[in-house]
């Protein structure tokens, strides 16, 4: 069985790469990869479809699409003209799989879906994959509700969005409730109200729950809100202004003031939209900036003629890939799980623009236009987005540079060889040994890697409650046993992409393991590493100094007396932040676990004891401890407790009779 390569490994003999110790030679690996691809070529048709490069452990290395599969895959067999990155991918390839499609457009859609799902490391990857918030005007109730929505759009109603962030949608909702005072409460609260709530008092709701507005007037409000969010804001404003003047003319100044406040709220929304272009009704504006081998893509969302915010993305890609290639891959992945607008404005000339346009049109169910404006107001939007992309990338590079200096400082303090790319910090949290949790946080060149954080529910088999050293040993043993298992995994489950992904997560080797504690915690960690045979990973501990004062921390290393850093050392500040983040994560997870256990007792573990019988027992005996101490006859005397159930309860607490 072939052993899985780690991402940093590269075959010897390829330009710019070095072979890991004991690995097959670079040219031998390249020849083997070419042979595997050549073998697959014998049965690949020259039709549209998607191909996948598969590594030794079943990991999907790369997903690509082609108008003619055979011609496209053939290009990997001849190394001439291939970049170092592609040569490395070929050398890691052990198999190739294809899926044929009817058209190249279908192939593009399938490729985007597979890249998002499998996240192959040789593809351009959109790393930010969070869902986007929408405004939902519900359609499953007689009195529609206006609320923020995130996730699957399965509830009946009208969805307006996406918005760039929760802040953008919250700000819009807050003002919308002033202009269109529709209910925001849940159906259950709505049905149980007997008098108006505070939202009615501050004029954010018309209190339909208690009949303060007629169904006809409420439907009119819903229509106005729908028109405004659908892009007909000018018509809505004119209508409200006309009603305001009409009320004023009839000397109904209270009603006129009500319409005036609503008109002002709509004007407030429009005046706080930032940039607006009258000719842009529904569009996304996408611009990219490249520097130092990285790319920032800035996206502005325009819906209903309004700017609904912007967001910066930093796709993962090879240094040799152009901005046009990155934007093309970004567009395909970005709209894989969200509805495309009718127009997408881009600043790069994309070779496959017509193909992407056709694929998005099929996905959206309406015509989607991909355009690159050269002049006019739309071109100004592109320039504005490009400036934002450049500034965002500049900030990111500055932060990365500062982070790199800190990591280099950590390497110097702890005497590490080479750059630090992954630090794992461990801490435990418990109350007298109960609900014990171990927390692991991870930091690297990009800051805190929160998707790599892990929690460990400490099982405590054979542990003395409150034994911090034993708890730390259990956490580290479980974490690094998984590491060893991942590194030695064979390809028995190579066809399962999720299994390969799990192995990659567990198989990430840290450069430094930092323990929150002192000499005892360090000794416990070293004991685990010795038992498992873990080598090549530095281990250290950080403990607060006298009186637990921050700034007087002591650092513990194997075979070295404890030492402290200068109180103003940037590296010390960084280590404090890591320690505090590990503590925050561990204690937060512990509190969540403890919160789930509140209200539970030993009675919950007895078959046949539901909420009713549990309540009767607790009311009769006062506590679960009182039930445990009760005699069989006393249990039989509780209302609702039969002799059979009483015997079951008694036997549970007295297993020895």
18 vs 231, 408, 645, CA distance in Å? 58, 22, 71
At residue 527, the pLDDT reads: 92
Q: Mean of the pLDDT values across residues 179-196?
A: 86
Task: Give per-residue pLDDT as tens, 138-167.
Answer: 988 889 988 888 877 888 998 887 887 777
At residue 634, the pLDDT reads: 83
List the one residue out of 294, 290, 273 whose CA is nearest residue 381: 273
Strands 423-431 and 512-516: parallel
List the one residue out of 355, 288, 360, 368 whose CA is nearest residue 325: 288
At residue 129, the pLDDT reads: 57
Cut 0.85: pTM above it: no
At residue 551, the pLDDT reads: 62
* Helices 233-249 and 215-229, packing angle to 10 deg: 140
CA–CA dist 393, 298 (Å, integer): 10
Q: Does the pLDDT at position 454 exceed 70? A: yes
Percent of the chain with pLDDT over 70: 85
Per DSSP, the chain holds a count of helices (H) and strands (E) of 21, 19
Fold of 602-653: DNA polymerase; domain 1 (1.10.150)
Q: What is the CATH number of domain 423-595?
A: 3.30.420.340
Contacts of 583 (CB under 8 A, 6+ apart): 427, 429, 516
CATH of 283-396, one of 3.30.420.340, 2.60.40.10, 3.40.50.2000, 3.40.50.10320: 3.30.420.340
Task: Give per-residue pLDDT as tens, 12-45.
Answer: 444 334 343 344 567 888 888 889 998 889 889 9
At residue 489, the pLDDT reads: 60
Higher pLDDT pick, 446 / 528: 528
Fold of 26-118: GIY-YIG endonuclease (3.40.1440)
What is the band of 595 on the pLDDT scale with cuts at 50, 70, 90? Answer: low
At residue 297, the pLDDT reads: 93
DSSP 373: -
Six token digits for residue 583: 């503590």
Parse the chain into domains and list their residue ranges. 26-118, 134-271, 283-396, 423-595, 602-653
Q: Mean of the pLDDT values across residues 426-446?
A: 78
Q: Does the pLDDT at position 3 exceed 70? A: no
List the one residue out of 585, 578, 581, 588 whose CA is nearest residue 512: 578
What is the band of 52 on the pLDDT scale with cuts at 50, 70, 90? Answer: very high
Q: Mean of the pLDDT values across residues 322-343?
A: 89
At residue 271, the pLDDT reads: 55
CA–CA dist 586, 590 (Å, integer): 6
At residue 522, the pLDDT reads: 93
What is the band of 432 on the pLDDT scale with cuts at 50, 70, 90? Answer: low
Higher pLDDT pick, 4 / 252: 252
What is the band of 540 on the pLDDT scale with cuts at 50, 70, 90? Answer: very high
* Helices 353-364 and 104-118, packing angle to 10 deg: 80
At residue 400, the pLDDT reads: 79
Q: Residue 94, by phi and psi: left (phi above 0), alpha (psi -120 to 50) or beta?
A: alpha
Task: Give per-residue pLDDT as tens, 552-577.
Answer: 789 999 988 999 998 888 899 899 98
Give the CA radius of gyration of the chain: 31
Give me the torsion for CA of 128, 131, 133, 135, rounded to 10°: 150
What is the band of 289 on the pLDDT scale with cuts at 50, 70, 90? Answer: very high
Backbone φ, ψ for residue 99 (5° rounding): -130, 120
Say yes or no: do domains 283-396 and 423-595 share a fold: yes
At residue 442, the pLDDT reads: 92
- Indicate the average pLDDT of the chain: 81
Asked whether the beta carbons of 184 and 205 are under 8 A apart, the reply is yes
At residue 424, the pLDDT reads: 95
26 vs 5, 90, 506, 643, CA distance in Å? 13, 11, 27, 77
Mean pLDDT is lowest, of 275-279, 302-306, 399-403, 611-615, for 275-279
Q: Does the pLDDT at position 655 exceed 70? A: no
Task: Give per-residue pLDDT as tens, 358-412.
Answer: 999 998 888 999 999 988 888 988 998 999 999 888 888 877 788 888 898 999 9
- 488 SS3 class: coil
Element (H, E) at 135: strand 134-138
Mean pLDDT is lowest, of 77-86, 235-244, 456-465, 560-569, for 456-465
Task: Give per-residue pLDDT as tens, 198-234.
Answer: 888 888 888 999 988 999 989 988 888 888 887 777 7
At residue 31, the pLDDT reads: 87
Six token digits for residue 655: 């297993």
Max mean pLDDT range (191-205, 271-285, 570-584): 570-584
The 3-state secondary structure of 574-622 reads: HHHHHHHHHHHHHHHHHHHHHHHHCCCCHHHHCCCCCHHHHHHHHHHHC
At residue 10, the pLDDT reads: 40
At residue 498, the pLDDT reads: 47
Percent of the chain with pLDDT over 90: 20
């Amino acid at each position: 069985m072939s052993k899985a390569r780690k991402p940093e490994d590269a075959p010897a003999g390829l330009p710019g790469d070095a072979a890991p110790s004991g690995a097959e030679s670079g040219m031998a690996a390249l020849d083997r990869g070419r042979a595997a691809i050549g073998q697959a070529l014998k049965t690949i048709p020259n039709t549209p479809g998607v191909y996948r490069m598969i590594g030794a452990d079943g990991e999907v290395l790369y997903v690509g699409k082609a108008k003619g599969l055979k011609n496209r895959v053939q290009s990997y067999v001849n190394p001439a003209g291939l970049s170092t990155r592609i040569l490395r991918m070929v050398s890691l390839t052990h198999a190739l799989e294809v899926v044929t499609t009817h058209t190249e457009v279908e192939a593009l859609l399938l490729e985007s879906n597979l890249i998002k799902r499998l996240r192959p490391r040789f593809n351009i990857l959109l790393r930010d994959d969070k869902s986007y918030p929408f405004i939902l005007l519900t359609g499953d109730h007689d009195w529609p509700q206006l609320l923020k929505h995130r996730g699957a759009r399965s509830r009946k109603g009208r969805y307006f969005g996406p918005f760039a962030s929760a802040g953008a949608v919250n700000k819009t909702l807050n003002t919308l409730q002033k202009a269109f005072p529709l209910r925001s409460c849940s159906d259950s609260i709505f049905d149980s109200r007997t008098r108006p709530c505070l939202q009615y008092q501050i004029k954010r709701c018309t209190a339909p729950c208690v009949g303060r507005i007629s169904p006809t007037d409420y439907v009119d409000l819903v229509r106005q809100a729908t028109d405004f969010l659908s892009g007909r804001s000018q018509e809505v404003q004119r209508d409200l202004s006309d009603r305001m003047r009409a009320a004023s003319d009839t000397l109904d100044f209270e009603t006129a003031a009500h319409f005036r406040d609503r008109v002002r709220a709509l004007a407030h929304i429009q005046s706080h939209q930032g940039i607006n272009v009258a000719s842009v009704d529904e569009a996304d504006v996408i611009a990219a900036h490249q520097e130092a081998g990285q790319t920032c893509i800035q996206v502005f969302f325009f819906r209903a003629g309004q700017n609904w915010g912007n967001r910066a993305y930093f796709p993962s890609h090879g240094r040799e890939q152009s901005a046009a290639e990155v934007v093309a891959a970004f567009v395909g992945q970005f709209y894989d799980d969200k509805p495309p607008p009718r127009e997408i404005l881009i600043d790069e000339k994309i070779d496959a623009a017509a193909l992407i346009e056709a694929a998005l049109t099929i996905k959206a169910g309406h015509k989607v236009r991909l355009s690159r404006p050269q002049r006019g107001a739309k071109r100004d939007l592109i320039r504005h987005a490009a400036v934002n992309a450049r500034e965002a990338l500049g900030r990111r590079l500055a932060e990365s540079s500062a982070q790199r200096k800190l990591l280099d400082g950590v390497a110097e303090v702890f005497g590490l060889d080479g750059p630090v790319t992954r630090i794992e910090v461990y801490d435990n949290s418990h109350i007298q040994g109960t609900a014990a949790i171990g927390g692991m946080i991870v930091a690297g060149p990009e800051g805190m890697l929160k998707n790599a954080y892990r929690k460990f529910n400490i099982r405590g088999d054979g542990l003395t409650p409150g034994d911090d050293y034993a708890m730390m040993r259990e956490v580290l043993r479980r974490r690094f046993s998984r590491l060893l298992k991942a590194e030695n995994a064979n390809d028995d489950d190579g066809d399962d992409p999720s299994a390969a992904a799990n192995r990659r997560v567990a198989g990430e080797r840290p450069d430094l393991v930092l323990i929150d504690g002192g000499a005892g915690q360090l000794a416990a960690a070293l004991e685990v590493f010795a038992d498992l045979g873990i080598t090549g990973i530095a281990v250290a501990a950080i403990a607060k100094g006298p009186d637990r004062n921050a700034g007087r921390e002591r650092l513990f290393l194997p075979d070295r007396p404890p030492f402290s850093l200068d109180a103003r050392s940037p590296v010390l500040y960084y280590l404090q932040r890591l320690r505090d983040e590990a503590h925050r994560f561990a204690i937060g997870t512990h509190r969540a676990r403890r919160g789930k256990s509140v209200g539970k007792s030993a009675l919950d573990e007895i078959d046949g004891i539901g909420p009713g019988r549990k309540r009767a027992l607790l009311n009769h005996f006062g506590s679960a401890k009182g039930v445990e101490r009760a005699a069989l006859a006393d249990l039989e005397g509780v209302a609702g407790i039969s002799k059979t159930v009483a015997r079951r309860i008694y036997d549970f607490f007295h297993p020895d009779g």
